[in-house]
Structure 1
Amino acid sequence: MIERLWAKFGKTSSQPSEPLATDNLPQHVAIIMDGNGRWAKNRGLPRIAGHHSGMKTVKRITMAADRVGIKYLTLYAFSTENWKRPKAEVDYLMRLPQEFLAIELEELIQNNVQVRMMGYKGGLPDHTLQAVETAISRTANNTGLVLNFALNYGSRKEMLGAVREIAAAVQRGELSLDAIDEKTMSERLLSSGLPDPDLVIRTSGELRLSNFMLWQMAYSEMWFTDVYWPEFTEEHFLEAITEYQRRARRYGGI
Structure 2
Amino acid sequence: MTKKQRNRRKARRQQSVKHAQTAARHDREKAIKRRLRARERVILPAGREWLAVEAYPLSGNRCAKALTAAGLPVFEAREKVREQRDGGPPRVAMVPVMRRVIFVGLRGWSDMRLIEECRHVWQVFGVIGDGLGWIHREQFRQALLDADICGDRAVPFIAAGPMQHFADHVCKYMRYDPDTDTSHVVSGDELLELLYGVGDRVRVTSGPFASFPGVVESHDRKTDLYTVGVSIFGRVTQVACEERHLEAA
Q: TM-score range by the shorter chain?
A: under 0.3
TM-score for both structures, normalised by structure 1: 0.21
If each structure's strand is expressed as a fraction of its own residues, which one has the higher value? Answer: 2
The structure whose RCO (Cα within 8 Å, separation 6+) is larger is: 1
Larger radius of gyration: 2
TM-score for both structures, normalised by structure 2: 0.22
If each structure's helix is expressed as a fraction of its own residues, which one has the higher value? Answer: 1
